[in-house]
Amino acid sequence: MNLLVTGATGFVGSHFLDALSGRPGDVTVLVRSTSDLTHLDNPAWSGGPLHIRRITGSLEDEEALGEAVEGAEAVVHLAALTRAKNEAEFRKANEDGTRKLLRAAKDSDTCRRFIYLSSLAAAGPAEPGKPVEPEDDPRPLTAYGRSKLAGEAACREVAEEIETIILRPPAVYGPRDHDLLSFFKLANAGVLPVPLGPARFLQLIHVQDLVVAIRQSISAQKATGVYHVAEDAAYSWSNVLALMSEAVGKRGRRIPIPQMVFQLAGALSGGLGRVVGKPQIFDRDKARELLAPGWLCEVERARSDLGFSASIPLEKGLRSTAAWYREKGWLR
């Protein structure tokens, strides 16, 4: 099947291309002029069965989008803005960009399926003891979550004209990920900051499992709508940080942090980002996510419709991620 992939140079996208590299097929990738193309220039791929066509442009460039979707039977939309200075920036990329790509896909003569990588942030947090269901009314906490939900709405608007599949993973981790690296560094320093209050439970997914879910979404028969894709296991923040400590080979010290301190740290970090013009990993919205009651989701629909079940347990995934960080010098 001929595919168009956006976000191919990013964390998830690069792993997705790795999974395709040994298989025959034609893949078009939309890359920005400022993208790091190092992974796309992988010499191990040269002469292989996968043919990659590059189109330089952005989700704002309608001419490039039209060229990119030409001949594609499915679009795998992985590109997203995960950090921004304000909500308008999130909306421009994650909503407006998705709408333009959907329009190009609809206007093509070949595209029959559109796979949109959303986020559990679009659904919002779970109530204690009640995982979020795909049909539940969304309650996003953050600007990012609202922008991803708006992208989902754009997909639903064209669902009668093109098959649309929306994947909502929780926190994604694995080699090449920058967002959870700061937690690994804290664990490596022997520090395990845990917010005071009731235990908060969450699910995660290893990037290689997410790639499997994306691939199965391409070929699944009669699949449509929203799917939550995650490891079918709940972990408290204390569990997650303790497993990170084991993964880096350190004995961590659990440090209870008042919720107000998390909120203040998020506000200060976000303020610094606005001053220097560079969005930070941790800000007020991230503090809200950490302090939410939980991030749990139902995964049975993905199992029944997509044939997907995560296979990498958190302990194993964190160990392999920590090993990769050390090998690349990201973790000392």
Is residue 280 assigned to a domain? Answer: no
Distances (CA, A) of 299 to 120, 308, 314, 322: 12, 9, 16, 27
Q: Within 10 Å of residue 35's Cβ, how many Cβ atoms?
A: 18
Give dist(CA 2, CA 70) in Å, integer: 10
| 2 pLDDT tier (thresholds 50, 70, 90) | very high
> Domain count of the chain?
1
Percent residues over pLDDT 90 in the chain? 73
Is residue 326 assigned to a domain? Answer: no
Give kind and range of the element (H or E) at residue 11. helix 11-20
Q: Three-state SS for 172?
A: strand
Classify the phi-psi angles of 240: left when phi > 0, otherwise alpha if psi is within -120 to 50, otherwise beta: alpha
How confident is the model over 59-88, as pLDDT tens digits? 999 999 999 999 999 999 999 999 998 999
Domain around 12: 3-172+204-232+295-311
Is residue 287 assigned to a domain? Answer: no
Is residue 126 assigned to a domain? Answer: yes
> Contact 223/165 with Cβ under 8 angstroms?
yes
How confident is the model over 214-269, as pLDDT tens digits? 999 999 998 999 999 999 999 998 899 999 999 999 988 888 888 888 788 888 88
Enumerate residues 6+ apart whose C-beta is below 8 A from 241: 183, 186, 187, 192, 193, 194, 252, 254
> Contact 297/119 with Cβ under 8 angstroms?
no
| 44 pLDDT tier (thresholds 50, 70, 90) | low
Mean pLDDT score of the chain: 92
How confident is the model over 105-119, as pLDDT tens digits? 999 989 999 999 999
pLDDT at position 200 over 70: yes
- Of 275 and 10, the structure prediction assigns the larger pLDDT to 10
The stretch 145-174 carries a mean pLDDT of 97
Is residue 273 assigned to a domain? Answer: no
How confident is the model over 276-297, as pLDDT tens digits? 777 877 788 888 888 899 999 9
> Contact 163/154 with Cβ under 8 angstroms?
no
Give kind and range of the element (H or E) at residue 317. helix 314-328
Look at residues 224, 277, 296 and name the one whose alpha carbon lies nearest to residue 86: 277
CATH of the domain at 36: 3.40.50.720
Is residue 240 assigned to a domain? Answer: no
Give dist(CA 45, CA 23) in Å, integer: 10
Q: Three-state SS for 253?
A: strand
Give dist(CA 167, CA 184) in Å, integer: 26
> Contact 31/37 with Cβ under 8 angstroms?
yes
Is residue 261 assigned to a domain? Answer: no
Complete edge-to-edge strand list for the sheet that includes strand 113-117: 50-56, 25-31, 3-6, 74-77, 113-117, 163-168, 225-228
Task: Enumerate the β-bridge partners of residue 255.
Answer: 193
pLDDT at position 179 over 70: yes
Give dist(CA 29, CA 27) in Å, integer: 6
The structure tokens listed for 128 are 């204690």
Give dist(CA 5, CA 10) in Å, integer: 11
Is residue 140 assigned to a domain? Answer: yes
